[in-house]
Amino acid sequence: MTVNETDIWYTERDISTTLVKGLKVLAAFEGGAAHMTLPEIGSETGYDRATVRRLVITLFDEGLLVKKGKSFSLTPKVLVLAGGYLRGHRIGATVQPILNKYSEEMGREISMATLCDGAAVYLARSNITGSAISFGFTVGSRLPLPHTAVGRMLLALESETAVQAFVKTSDLIGYTPQTNLDVLAIHEEIGKASTQGHVIVHSEFEAGVSGMSVPIGRIGTAKTVIGVSGPTATMQDPEILKRCLSILQICAAELCTAWHEGN
């Protein structure tokens, strides 16, 4: 039996409060507006004006923020940090070509996502060139777990206790008239996803958009999923669904061997 990695191996004293605050300022640009003034950042983070000022000046000096009049906004330097993750996990070199290949075969965009802070985060996304529709989601986009196909599949990969904990604490948001707000029904859908190994969700996050998702690897060990989305109209035809599922599963299998998940 290996040591449980979730054991507490550090105390509160070992956490650098200043770094935490600085990171929260950076994160404020993700949650809030793209351009923010010092007071806006202050109210977003809840920190004192003077504190915000020093942190923002630091981030500016480091080249992570630019100043335009009184507003600050992120610079492309944050992409470089992200690029480190993508390169380290061979997303560009290994994953992207595979997504592209099956994306072309299917004629739809395929996305890869993983769990991060109670949301599904896109790690990679194929761009099917012929597609008329584009939902504007990119690498780093966060999708709600309970109401998207990738989200439900990611939850299905978690332990039953983790799912229960999430479902209990999560506030369900009615994105569309079709959004399922019944906790028990969602829990059941996650269970089905787990046993079936795939999941389909219709119009619960964006009206008229449906998604299908399968895990990369076996349920229980997998931590990453791929998914495809398209107009609900075309995603209800059993023949199309069957074909999409088949291709997604082959794509997932290829990713599983080509991209050793352990990194």
Partner DNA sequence: TATAGATGTTCAAATAACGCACATTTGTTG
Partner DNA sequence: CAACAAATGTGCGTTATTTGAACATCTATA
Report the first-to-last Cα separation within the chain, whole angstroms.
Answer: 22
d(CA 57, CA 73): 12
Q: Which listed option, DNA, its own copies, none, makes contact with residue 251 (CB within 5 to 8 Å by class)?
A: none
Q: Which listed option, DNA, its own copies, none, makes contact with residue 75 (CB within 5 to 8 Å by class)?
A: its own copies
For residue 50, state whether it binds DNA (rule: CB under 7 A). yes
The only residue of 1, 9, 68, 130 in contact with DNA, by rule CB under 7 A:
9
d(CA 99, CA 126): 6
Size of the site for DNA (CB under 7 A): 23
Q: How far is the CB of 44 from its own copies (least distance, A)?
A: 12
Q: Which listed option, DNA, its own copies, none, makes contact with residue 129 (CB within 5 to 8 Å by class)?
A: its own copies
Binders of DNA among residues 55 to 74 (CB under 7 A) are 55, 70
Q: Which listed option, DNA, its own copies, none, makes contact with residue 131 (CB within 5 to 8 Å by class)?
A: its own copies
Residue recorded with tokens 């787990």: 194
Q: How far is the CB of 35 from its own copies (least distance, A)?
A: 7
Distance of CA 235 to the CA centre of its chain: 22
For residue 161, state whether it binds DNA (rule: CB under 7 A). no
For residue 46, state whether it binds DNA (rule: CB under 7 A). no
d(CA 25, CA 36): 11
Q: Of the two residues 88 and 177, which places its CB atom closer to its own copies in the complex?
A: 88
Q: How far is the CB of 32 from its own copies (least distance, A)?
A: 9
Q: Of the two residues 72 and 259, which places its CB atom closer to DNA in the complex?
A: 72
For residue 47, state whether it binds DNA (rule: CB under 7 A). yes
Which of 116, 131, 160, 159 has its CA nearest to residue 27? 116
Binders of DNA among residues 69 to 98 (CB under 7 A) are 70
In a 10 Å sphere around its CB, with 0-12 CB exposed, 13-18 middle and 19+ buried, how is residue 56 labelled? buried
**Contact letters (x/-) for DNA, 17-36, by CB under 7 A?**
xxx-x---------------
Q: Which residues bind DNA (CB under 7 A)?
A: 9-11, 13-19, 21, 37-39, 47-51, 53-55, 70
